[in-house]
Structure 1
Amino acid sequence: MLKLNRIKQKANYAWRVGATGFSFASFGLGGVAIGGLVAPLVKLSSSDLDVRKQRTQKVIKHSFKGFTEMMVKLGIMTYTVEGLEKLKNSQQELVIANHPTLIDVVVLIGLMEQANCVVKQALWSNPFTKGPVQSAGYILNAGSEQFIQDCVHKLQQDHAASLLIFPEGTRTAKGEQLN
């Protein structure tokens, strides 16, 4: 019996490693597909830059929702949400969150009706995330006064979207409180 449990543990570990690798690959390929295929098609759909950004944000929202559901179905992630209605119905609000895992932003954007997001330079220039991030009109955290003006402008200009910010700019260490 002990040997059977050990075999099950190793099989479960192998599954989780494989499913996690598959998830990383899917995320990267999804980013390339949105940036290289979807964003150019969205660009053709309207001459209005704001409409194109909103449409790209919707594509990202649904992609992130699907990605989250895929990870749950693969058995490599579970999550619970408290205050879902507030998050779903947020409009022109500032959503400030801790960042304990790699996919916090993925889960949150997938749950929100529409979200603008503040992103760090690494995502702005990464070949897998650059296309979606820039096409959606997300705000680059350049650490300048212009950054604050960009955030205010997004909240005033886009009457539907809330602004999602991870103020620490990096993942929160386990057990650490938001600064």
Structure 2
Amino acid sequence: MIVIRILLVGFLFSWFGFICLIGNIIFLPLIVIRLNRIKFFENIARDLVYLAWKFFIFCKKILGYLDYEFKDCSRLGKPSQIIIANHPSLLDVVFILSKVRRINCVVKSDLAKNIFLSPAIKAANYIVNSEDEELLNKSLSVLKSDDSLLIFPEGTRTKDSISFHKAPFYIAIHGAKILTPIFIDMNPRSLQKGVK
């Protein structure tokens, strides 16, 4: 049983990489020609991310790797909405991006350099987390343009205790019309920070 589980995890990681590579083939021309600066193409990129992660989560469920439940999602994806979520695992972003169409997202700066994820981040114009006012200004601009924004106030994945940074709440107070908290509960815990 353990061997089957290991093989399944290996397959799913490979499948994740394959989905990213297919996306990169589509996203790279948008970035090179700078079409991602046009809202229409940005929306196409976000729609593709939304559909790809929806398909990936569906595959994980069908293969019996995980089960999940979304509760009261009718409030998600409203204009000028900031969604603030805890961050217990690597899959949190995938789940939320697969549930909320065309949402913008603050992503870790390391991911913007990742060969698999960087083209999608650039094509969808996600906001790269920085330690200066650029993050605040871009986030406020996104909310003022009536996009919804996903942000993890912990910055990185939850380890043992939750510790929120101030920036997401500053952004919420100064730019959002709607603040929606999401609590992600994971049992058993996996894909945590510092855990193989």
TM-score band by shorter chain is: 0.7 to 0.9
Letter in 1 for 2:103: A
Cα deviation for residue 177 of structure 1 reads 3.6
- Alignment pair present for 1:112 and 2:112: no
Letter in 2 for 1:105: V
Structure 1 Cα separation of the partners of residues 15 and 28 of structure 2: 20
Match of 1:167 in 2: 153
Select the residue among 16, 28, 33 that pairs with 2:17. 28
Select the residue among 124, 146, 152 that pairs with 1:136. 124
- Alignment pair present for 1:92 and 2:80: yes
Match of 1:60 in 2: 49
The answer to whether the 8 A contact 2:36-2:124 is kept is no
- Alignment pair present for 1:39 and 2:27: yes
Percentage of matched positions with identical amino acids? 28
Cα deviations by residue, 1:8-40 (Å, 9 ceiling, x for unpaired) = xxx2x22221111111111122222212x1124
TM-score relative to the length of structure 2: 0.76
Letter in 2 for 1:84: C
Q: How has the CA–CA distance of structure 1 residues 140 and 47 changed in structure 2, closer, same or farther, with 3 Å as cutoff? A: closer
The answer to whether the 8 A contact 2:36-2:125 is kept is no
The answer to whether the 8 A contact 2:30-2:36 is kept is no
SS in 1 for 2:106: strand
SS in 2 for 1:86: coil
Letter in 2 for 1:60: V
Q: How has the CA–CA distance of structure 1 residues 40 and 84 changed in structure 2, closer, same or farther, with 3 Å as cutoff? A: same
Letter in 1 for 2:114: N
Q: How has the CA–CA distance of structure 1 residues 48 and 146 changed in structure 2, closer, same or farther, with 3 Å as cutoff? A: closer
The structure number with the bigger radius of gyration is 1
List gaps (5 residues or longer) in structure 2: 165-196
Structure 1 Cα separation of the partners of residues 86 and 36 of structure 2: 36
TM-score relative to the length of structure 1: 0.82
Q: How has the CA–CA distance of structure 1 residues 178 and 65 changed in structure 2, closer, same or farther, with 3 Å as cutoff? A: farther
Moved over 6 A (4+): none
Structure 2 Cα separation of the partners of residues 116 and 47 of structure 1: 14
Cα deviations by residue, 1:114-168 (Å, 9 ceiling, x for unpaired) = 21000111100010111111111000111110110000111122x3x31000121
Match of 1:8 in 2: none
The answer to whether the 8 A contact 1:28-1:129 is kept is no
Size of the aligned set, in residue pairs, is 162
List gaps (5 residues or longer) in structure 1: 1-10
Match of 1:71 in 2: 60
More helix by share: 1
Match of 2:115 in 1: 127
